[in-house]
Amino acid sequence: MVADREMVESNSDEILRDAQTEDVAFLVVGDPFGATTHTDIVLRARELAIPIQSIPNASILSGIGACGLQLYNFGQTVSMVFFTENWRPASFYDRVKENRSIGLHTLVLLDIKVKEPNLDAMARGRIVYEPPRFMTVGTCAKQMLEVEDERKEGVYGAESLAIGAARVGGTQQTFVSGTLKELCDSDDRLGPPLHSLVLLGRRTHELEHDFVRDFAVDRDNWDKIWRADYQNKT
């Protein structure tokens, strides 16, 4: 059986329907417990006394270590959604603030829009899906700076160091490091989706510096900001 996310969220009983009498396998992208959705289906299986076995997998949550920052120094992970005129959820800002207050890096997972219905067509009684959209590092960096401009709590700024990541774990995996301002214009260097972003905390190690500066947009600028704001600030 192939089940998409909509099916898991709204109709997990359909997935579990025959599981009392036969083996049902359910494949997901990344680690099965990266999302609440899958915790929910395990709970449902438990209620129905269906034994389950989960198999761990590589996940962006650990795969991001390939950017060269120690996984031990990451705080909570946040998500960034596409802003619209009327909907600009900024709860990520408070989480980033917490992480930075104790020196930790923040992994920002970027919005994916697939199977979004076209609203005009829907009004005319037809279901037409929009082409898929994947948020880029550039859009994420811009939205982050917009929110800092609104909130003005100095959680980060245009000169804060970050790493843009593209296609982590794939053969064409690419990283670009720079200030948030520089990353606003680095989508061409990063290439096709999926993208993620890591905002650095001040708890850094010289080894990380050596690793990450290698893919800096501007190494001189990276070195200068690193020395001033990050090095030996733990």
Residues in contact with a copy of itself by CB under 8 A are 31-34, 36, 39-40, 42-43, 46, 53-59, 61-63, 65-66, 68, 70-78, 98-99, 101-102, 104, 168-169, 171, 205, 207-208, 210-211, 214
d(CA 224, CA 65): 24
Instruction: Please report how many Cα atoms fall inside a 13 Å half-sphere around the Cα of residue 213, on the Cβ side.
Output: 16
- Distance, C-alpha 43 to centroid of its chain: 26
By beta-carbon proximity to a copy of itself, the closer residue of 50 and 71 is: 71
Q: How does strand 195-199 pair with strand 161-166?
A: antiparallel
Least CB distance to a copy of itself at residue 50 (A): 14
By beta-carbon proximity to a copy of itself, the closer residue of 36 and 86 is: 36
Least CB distance to a copy of itself at residue 67 (A): 8
d(CA 120, CA 143): 27
d(CA 180, CA 149): 13
65 backbone dihedrals φ, ψ, rounded to 5°: -55, -25
d(CA 106, CA 109): 10
Least CB distance to a copy of itself at residue 181 (A): 27
By beta-carbon proximity to a copy of itself, the closer residue of 44 and 181 is: 44
d(CA 229, CA 110): 26
By beta-carbon proximity to a copy of itself, the closer residue of 7 and 66 is: 66
Least CB distance to a copy of itself at residue 140 (A): 17
By beta-carbon proximity to a copy of itself, the closer residue of 115 and 233 is: 233
Least CB distance to a copy of itself at residue 203 (A): 8
Least CB distance to a copy of itself at residue 227 (A): 19
By beta-carbon proximity to a copy of itself, the closer residue of 35 and 158 is: 35
d(CA 206, CA 68): 11
